[in-house]
Structures are given as C-alpha cells and as structure tokens.
Chain A
C-alpha cells in the first residue's frame, strides 16, 4: 500500500478534480470569515447574483477591527463601525452563523474555531487570514487565502490551489526551563528564515512537539506562516481528542467514537516520503526574543544581535534598515534594555494557557511603573475561564487589567496602537515595521518572557527570575 503523509491523506481526500497542468480543485469543510477580508467577496457575490453555496460550513466573527474597551458602546470610528456592521449584514443576508460583539462565542476567529469544536481533525479549513494555519494543530489542513479566494469558497465551497510540497520538521527531546511552544516557533523560524518554508506544507513532529498541550500546538502551527509555509499541522492524538471531546460542535455519542476511529488513521505512515526533512534538538532551544523587523530575526534571549559580517551580502541593506528602525546596534545584547509596552494576546498567545502562564509569573509581584500592559483575551470564552479560575484577581493584584477580546495590538487596526519609537514586548506573531502602530518597535516573545519584562520593566532572562 502507498505510504502517505498526514497532509496527503487529508488533501487527497478533498480533491474534487485536478486541472490539467494547473491547480487542484479542493473542497473546503470549514470556512471562517472576519470583517476585514470578506466585504469585497460578498460584494462580488452580489455583482454576480450568487448565494453562498454551503452556508452551514461557514462561521463569522468580527475580530480585527474592534475596540477592546467599551464594546457595549457603538464603535467610535465610523469606518471601522461600517466594516463590522457590513459583516453582520452580510452574514444575515446570506444566512451565515455570526458571533457579533459581546456574543459569548465572539472572539478571534482562530481562537473560537477550536474552542467551540468547529475545527476537527481531518478537515480542510480556510479563512482570509494567514494565521488560519493555527487550526493545523488539530490535525487539519488549514491555510490562509485572499479575498478573491474567499469569494470562490463562498460561491462553490472550493478553492483552486496547487498542491504544496511537504516538509517535516521534527523536534526531539525535552524542552528546557522556561521554554514554551512560542520559543519553539521562534527558534524554528530563526533557523528556517522568514521565507524558508515557502511552497511547503509543514508537519511538526517529534517528542518535543507531542509533549505540547493543545494550546501550545496552536501557538506553534499559528506561526508556521512566518517562515513562509502554506500551513503547519500536527497529527491528532489523545491530546487532540481530549481537547475536542464535549465541545459544542464536536461529534457526540456514537458519532464521536466513529470519528475518533477515523482520526486515528490520519497520522503519517511510517516510511512516507517528505520533499524535505528538518530536525532540531529540543535541548538547543532557549527562551527566545526577536531583535529585528521580521519573525526570522530571532535569537536566544541572552544572545548578542548578529554583526553585519554575519549577514549575507544581498541581505545587508535590509538588516541595517531593520536595526536602524529598532534603534539597536549590531553585536549588542538585549538583556537589560528598558521597555515601554507589554502585549499579551492574539491568535498566537491569547488562549487560557497563556493567561495561566502569565499569571503564574506575575503572582505576588507588581507591574513595573515604566510599563503599559495590554492583556487581551482571545475570546469571551477565554475571558470567562480567566474569571472562573481567579486569574483576573491575581492580575489585578499585580497591577494589570484585562481588556475585551479581539486582535488588538497584534496588528493595531483599532485604537490599540503602540506609539512611535516605543518598545513593545509582544506575544503576537509579527514584528514588521509599523505592525503594532506607525514607528512601534516590537520584540516577539513567549508569555513567560512578556510577564517577566512586565514586572522588571526591562528585557530579563526568565531563567534567572523564575
């Protein structure tokens, strides 16, 4: 029998047809929508007088362009309000499920999909958002698409996609002290570079990956796009089934048993061939931080920024531009540098485990006076759990306050903008120039490093602190 990878099994089972010399016509099981990348797609449907082909496979939630304070009041910015209202109206007109502001199921689309059981192993999932790769953590083929493709899926439940190549990234061994899924992601991306997995769909494997919780796996798969990968995924196992069981839209009763039986057949067959294999040793991974303006510019938190002679010739202009933007010098350390903002949240690190981790560190300490901290749960469900577990009290005592769910300062479409020139220690996914606000200087880190920075007011090695 042909040996197949996890990716092949799911992809091949969803190919409706193959266009000669062209892409595959791929059937999509679950389509997520948010307010920013969908309005032009709905406008396209209206122009062509089309309905949504499979409304029951579509779930909408406004998340990018919403305030994280006073969500009970109308959105102040009329252009943002119009965009959110447009999603609500489109969902209503086309008969789609939508979780609007203050709905208990509202939140960042990549957080609410898994937590409500919409995302399941073996599915194909798309969304007009590159971090759709998050859902791959459940053993699904999930990837971001553009708005023209959103329109295609709405109109036909299919996309036309060339089948990507396959890469397996294995991390073997035990993760060290204060090393989280985020550090694994930043470490892998720093080795692969920001375009190193372009053209590939990545399966993460190995004992270190298996040891991650579901929330951790989502953090890792979320960032696979940051090395250019079409998506990232992890084979479903007991951790996956345990997470999914009992969630609202997960199969129940006999259907559950049958589903698990099928899902257990998904992992890559022994001896299946990947186009590329990369292996890392868990022992080499330390708490990480980025020093530049793309997520590939990461290093161990106690390391020195590279010097110009360590950068290849074609990349030197970009490297210098990047350090000049960050106002860092080649060869210097980041440890001890004062910071201005801390952001905990986003589809990368806005889940309950991230808040537990952050709270465990800050418990009994006080937020540093020079730090403004924005703590933004990924969804109302996460917020509810924070309160149920008493995490809100711990945070409050340490001088932190919670905001309301949304994408927030990850991309700063709303008012949550880091001011120009300020340093932000952020648990989000991108440190691009201006990503968190024009002129903002972002350093990507784990929730542990963010928490330690928030109470010390500077970049601190968490291994010295915890």
Chain B
C-alpha cells in the first residue's frame, strides 16, 4: 500500500525553465545509494549548491519566500535518463505534484509509481500560474484528482487534466502495479504456455 492522493491545495515553487532533465533533478554522482531514502537532499543539487556546498541564494529552493508541495515547471520536465531517483528526489523533498505543460514519458511513469502526481496543463495556464506566483508568493493552486481539475486560486481559473483511469484508481486507493501483477501470476503462466 502506498500513500493516497485525493485533493491538494498548496503554495507553489516555480521553476520556469524548459527541458529540465533528470541530470539536473538529481545528478548521476548521487545515484550510488542502494535505498530510496535521502534523495530529496540533493534535488537540483548543482543549481541549489555551489562547488563548496554553499547555498546559491538566487535559486528558488533557497528563497524562503517560496514554499509548498507543488512544483511548477517549464515545458518538457524530466527528460533524459530513466532514473527513478529523480522521482524519489522530487518526492523526498516534499513535493506531492509537479505541474507542467509537458512531461517526459519515463519521468511521468516514475512519478506516478511514487505517488507524485504529474499534472499536464496548457502552456497558457502554466504561464498564468507563474505570473500569479510572481505577483504574490503565497498564492495557491488546488489539484483535485477525483474531478481531474487544477485551479489557480489567484485567478479562479480552472483546467481539466488527463490521467489514465487505472493510474487514477491506484493513486486514489494507494495500490501499486506490483499488487496488480502479483494477482495475475496464473494468467501469465497460462499465457507463456500457449505462446
């Protein structure tokens, strides 16, 4: 059983950069662990800390006026490697959802498998959220998974978002794919025998 996801209202952390790749989310040199824990500390490591390990003040995660459990990111978030460590880092830092106008496929799957909801919105809606956060860092966004809507509470505007009904069900109930596949072992054996 995993954590369940239903409805989330939160302030947001904006990252208006396109093509944020998995090497930025979690650089390869931090992939040496054999557990899933601790990756949040190195989320966006090389944007967050300089070579000496000091915080880079200009980076958004180091700006105390921004906080929240929703990451708002530019187009094509999560491109590159298949490392699930990227999803573990995003989740480990405390994000429950990432909003962008476009996600790379593997990152999207990995996020869903770790109860981080990737929400795809239109480019216009995304830019409006960025503007609302810039105007007031305490503006919030609401993500309603049962109704598949996302609302920019500063403007009151909403958009529907798509999610595969099976994955939605998994998130709402805290199931994972392995639970499902283990229940199908006899079918898999039968399929192997008749191929």
Binding site for B on A (CB under 8 A): 16-17, 19-23, 25, 27, 36-37, 39-40, 43-44, 48, 50, 53, 64-65, 77, 79-80, 82-83, 86, 128-130, 132, 144-149, 151-152, 155-160, 162, 164, 194-195, 198-199, 225, 228, 230, 294, 296, 314-315, 317-318, 321, 411-413, 420, 430, 432-435, 438-439
Give the distance to chain A from B160, nearest Cβ to Cβ, in Å. 16
Asked if A155 contacts B166 (CB within 8 A), the reply is: no
- How many residues of B are counted as interface, with CB atoms below 8 angstroms from the partner's CB atoms? 56
State A130–B85 Cα separation when bound (angstroms): 13
> Distance in Å from the Cβ of B56 to the closest Cβ of chain A?
13
- How many A-B pairs fall under 8 Å by CB? 192
Give the docked Cα–Cα distance between A23 and B16 (Å).
31
Check B157 for interface membership: any CB of A closer than 8 A: no
Contact status of A420 and B76, CB under 8 A, knowing A23-B166, A27-B191, A317-B16: no
- B188 near A27 (CB under 8 angstroms)? yes
Knowing A21-B165, A147-B84, A413-B29 are in contact, say whether A228-B76 is a contact too (CB < 8 A): yes
Roughly how many angstroms separate A158 CA and B80 CA in the complex, as a whole number? 23
User: Which residue of the partner chain A has the closest CB to B101?
Assistant: A314
Chain B residues positioned under 8 Å from A159 (CB to CB)? 177
Residue numbers in A under 8 Å from B18 (CB-CB)? 314-315, 317-318
The 15 listed contacts between A and B (C-beta, < 8 Å) are: A16-B184, A16-B187, A19-B180, A25-B184, A27-B191, A37-B82, A77-B32, A148-B84, A148-B114, A152-B178, A314-B18, A413-B32, A432-B23, A434-B46, A439-B51
B29, B104, B176, B188: the one within 8 Å of A156 (CB) = B188
Q: How far is the CB of B124 from chain A (nearest CB, A)?
A: 11
Pick the contact of B51: A20, A50, A195, A438 (CB < 8 A). A438
Check B32 against A80 for contact (C-beta < 8 Å).
Answer: yes
Please state if A420 and B51 are interface contacts (CB–CB under 8 Å).
yes
- For A77, the chain B residues whose CB sits under 8 A away are 32
Q: Are B17 and A198 in contact (CB-based, < 8 A)?
A: no
Residues of B155-169 at the interface with A, using a CB-CB cut-off of 8 Å, are: 164-167
Using a CB-CB cutoff of 8 Å, which residues 23-40 of chain B contact chain A? 23-24, 27-29, 31-36
Contact B110 A318 (CB under 8 A): no
Q: Is the CB of A198 within 8 A of B188?
A: no
Residue ID in chain B nearest A78 by CB atoms: B32
B166–A146 CB distance below 8 A: no
Q: Is the CB of B180 within 8 A of A195?
A: no
Given contacts A22-B165, A149-B109, A199-B105, 13 further A-B contacts (CB under 8 A): A23-B166, A44-B178, A148-B178, A160-B166, A162-B164, A194-B79, A198-B102, A296-B19, A314-B18, A318-B74, A413-B32, A432-B80, A438-B27
**Bound form: Cα–Cα A148–B111 in Å:** 10
Give the distance to chain A from B148, nearest Cβ to Cβ, in Å. Answer: 13
- Out of A65, A86, A146, A151, name the residue touching B87 (CB < 8 Å): A146
* C-alpha gap A411/B185 in the complex (Å): 37
The 6 closest A-B pairs by CB, nearest first: A22-B166, A146-B84, A39-B34, A144-B82, A146-B110, A21-B165
- B123 proximal to A (CB < 8 A): yes
Task: Decide yes or no whether B137 CB sits under 8 A from chain A.
Answer: no
Given contacts A158-B181, A412-B28, A432-B23, contact A195 B82 (CB under 8 A): no
Is the Cβ of B182 less than 8 Å from the Cβ of A194?
A: no
The answer to whether A146 and B181 touch across the interface, beta carbons within 8 angstroms, is: no
Contact of B164 among A23, A145, A152 (CB under 8 A): A23
Query: Across the two chains, which residue of chain A brings its CB closest to B49?
Result: A438
Query: Do A149 and B76 touch across chains, with their CB atoms under 8 A apart?
Result: no
Least CB distance from A168 to B in Å reads 19
Question: Among the listed A21, A86, A194, which residue makes an inter-chain contact with B19, where contact means beta carbons less than 8 Å apart?
Answer: A194
